[in-house]
Structure formats: C-alpha cells, structure tokens
Amino acid sequence: MKCEKCENKAIIGNPILCSEHFEEYILKTVQDTITQFNLFTKETKICVAVSGGKDSLALIDILIRLGYSVEGLFVNEGISNYREYSNEDLEKFMRKNKLLLRTTSFQDLVGHSLDEIMNTEKFHACSVCGTLRRYLLNKFSKEYDVIATGHNLDDEAQTVLINLARGNTDLMFRGGPKSKPTNQFTQKVKPLIFVSEKQLLTYAIIRKIKTGFEECPYAQTSYRAHLRDLLNEEESKNPSTKLNILKSYLNLEKNIIKCDVKEKELCVCSVCGEASQEGICKACKLKEEIINLLH
C-alpha cells in the first residue's frame, strides 16, 4: 500500500500513511484535540502522569514536539515485571529531554506495593490501583495547572461502554477530554483521546520510545479487558467503531445530559486533609483496610 500523501510505502492502514506523514498526522490530531477542547496553552504548567506504559512517554514526546512545557509525575504501583521500559530507560528519556521527573509510589502511601496488596486476595486490583493513583496524582500535582494523562481512544471507548453496561449514570459524564475545574482537584486533561492504541504503539515504535512489552498482570481479569477484546473484534470488522463510540459520547455530553448531572459537595478528609466526598477519603479508608490486613 502506498501512502495517501506521497509515493512512499504506508506503514499503517488507518489512516494509510508512511512513517513521516503518520508522525505529522499524530502531531496534528493531538494539537487539534488540544485546540478544539481548549485543554491548555503554551503557558500552562503541565504535569504528565507517567505510568508503566508507552502511552505516557509517547504523550510527553508529542507535547514537547508541539512546544508545550511539561514535567513528569511517576506513580510506581509496585507490580513486578510490569514495565514497557526499564526505570533506567525512563530516567534516560527524561534526562535527554531535560524534563523534571518526580516519583511517588503506593509503597510510600500505604507501606505496600500493589503486588503485596493483591496477595491478600481481598481487593480488586483495578479499583485499588485507581483509588491510590488518583489520590497520589492529585496530591503531588498541586503546583501544576493540569495533569495530562495518556488515555487513548481505546481507553475512552471502553470507559463509555463500561459505564453504559453497568448503569453508572453518575460516572458516565465524567469522561471526555477534560475534567471539570474545581478548587480541590487539579484539572485532568487527555490530549490523546482521538489516537487509537494501535496508532500510539506505531508512534512509540517509530520514535523508539517502546523498549519492551509487558501486559499488566491484573488486567486479564477485568471487565475492561473483556470489553477491550470485544471492541477490538468489532473494530477489525468495522473500522471506526471506537471513534464512533467516543463521538456519540461527546455529542450526548454536549447536547443532552450535562445540565442534569449534579456534582457531589466536597469536604476535607479528616485524616489526610485532602479533598474528599465524605469525612474520610477513599484512599485513607483503603489504606486502613490494607494496613489492618497486612500487619
């Protein structure tokens, strides 16, 4: 297959582009998302949430190339053998790009790694991970204007379906490219939501960002993994399925339901002082449970 824009050979079929034009396409897609949804400007202090995957490093790479100023916040969950790059590679990448990388971990917060927490067999990995991660990201991002995460089109389409299938109408309209600004929580933005996971991997390989492969060992058991497989099957037969799901969501959010969604009142956690929906925040409750079980 030949590139739609030049005589070179295409490296990807959706859209049909050579590597040079594909890079250009990715940069434009992300810039268009930032502009269309007014995510941030060149003056914004951006904190990129760095995880074990290629997505967050690709995000940093893209944002730097587009001329934004970013720093990294690395949340180490403590999952052994789960890194798509080694810690040395991560540090090298940040040093090469002259970027500050701050590090925090589940170990620092609750005294145990996710592996240790899961060994108790009392918790659901994705829910523990989500609660502690959200908490740490918020806690350590106060001096920034926004937290940018590497969520891609696949993640977003899965989330829409999960909320629909579970009847989570409260959570339903917390998706999309940016969270509502509040005083207590740093605003979250997702510049990659129009880039599919396959496109992101392609970009990461062209840019030599991806160095290895490990799938999160806890992902297999999740409902999200089930929907991921279902969506991939559908997308292989009907390209644009994922994009259509995201676009439907964004249209719904814009046109119908937004005005009816009530935000819960926020107060301050009596244990840690962070913003919370109840007297004691979810992270502190979870921390107590974990400590009780593991001591």
Partner 1 sequence: MKIYIERNKENKEFDFKGSVQDLLDTLNILSETVLVVKNGTIITEDEELINDDEIKILSVVSGG
Q: Which stretch binds partner 1 (CB under 8 A): 37-45, 116-124, 226-234, 257-265?
A: 226-234
Q: What angle do CA 235, 237, 243 make, to 5 degrees?
A: 30
Which contacts qualify for 116-125: CB closer than 8 Å, 24 or more apart? 116/78, 116/294, 117/290, 117/294, 118/218, 120/290, 120/293, 120/294, 122/289, 122/293, 123/289, 123/290, 125/218, 125/221, 125/222
Distance CA 211, CA 204 (A): 9
| Interaction between residue 6 and Zn ion (CB under 5 A) | yes
Interaction partner, residue 18 (partner 1, Zn ion, none; CB < 5-8 Å by kind)? Zn ion
Does the protein bind partner 1 through residue 64 (CB under 8 A)?
Answer: no
Using CB under 8 A as the binding rule, the residues of this chain from 147 to 166 that contact partner 1 are: 149-150
Q: Cβ 185 to partner 1, closest distance in Å?
A: 19
Contact partner at residue 271 from Zn ion, partner 1, none, CB < 5 to 8 Å by partner kind? Zn ion
235 binds partner 1 (CB under 8 A): yes
Q: Work out how close the CB of 232 gets to partner 1 at its nearest, in angstroms, rounded to a whole number.
A: 4
Task: Write down the least CB distance from residue 276 to Zn ion, Å.
Answer: 6
Supply the angle between the helices 54-65 and 197-206 in degrees, to the nearest 10.
70
Contact region with Zn ion (CB under 5 A), list: 15-23, 46-54, 109-117, 152-160? 15-23
Binding site for partner 1 (CB under 8 A): 1, 10-13, 16, 19, 51-56, 82, 84, 149-150, 197-198, 201-202, 205-206, 213, 215-216, 219, 228, 232-233, 235-236
